[in-house]
């Protein structure tokens, strides 16, 4: 009975550790990475949507790479873009971009490492 009990306790400890690993809060890096991907995908969908206002075609490109220091300027330019204020989808996208910018410069400022500052790389996505 004792080996069975040890095996059962070991299994319970393993399951409990796995549960805690899944419940861990997101890191600053993982939050920024997922939000940047979400914004990039939303921008692509907005550009290809047929029921979108013509001003959307004039929006600055929004390919984001959080490892590129130029992403900060890219986000600032996008949020400050004066056109398309009447398009709800664009306003929502600008709000997400503003949130990402705030997270990058405030909350994650010391946690992130920028690997490049190649602004052209953000204009022509791979």
DSSP 80: H
Q: What is the pLDDT of residue 1?
A: 53
CA distance 44 to 63: 9
- Predicted model pTM: 0.73
Backbone angles phi, psi at 80, to 5 degrees: -85, -5
d(Cα 28, Cα 51) in Å, to the nearest integer? 35
Mean pLDDT, consecutive 10-residue stretches, the chain (126 aa), reads 66 61 66 92 87 80 88 92 86 94 85 82 73
Residue with tokens 């490492």: 113
Domain ranges of the chain: 27-122
């Amino acid at each position: 009975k004792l080996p069975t009990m040890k095996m059962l306790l070991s299994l319970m400890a393993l399951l409990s550790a796995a549960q805690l690993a899944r419940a861990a809060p997101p890191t600053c890096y993982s939050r920024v990475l997922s939000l940047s991907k979400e914004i990039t995908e939303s921008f692509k969908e907005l550009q290809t949507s047929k029921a979108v206002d013509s001003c959307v075609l004039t929006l600055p490109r929004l390919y984001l790479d959080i490892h590129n220091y130029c992403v900060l300027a890219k986000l600032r330019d996008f949020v400050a873009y004066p056109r398309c204020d009447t398009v709800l989808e664009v306003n929502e996208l600008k709000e997400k971009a503003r949130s990402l910018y705030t997270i990058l410069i405030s909350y994650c400022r010391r946690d992130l490492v920028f690997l490049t500052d190649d602004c052209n790389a953000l204009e022509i996505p791979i």
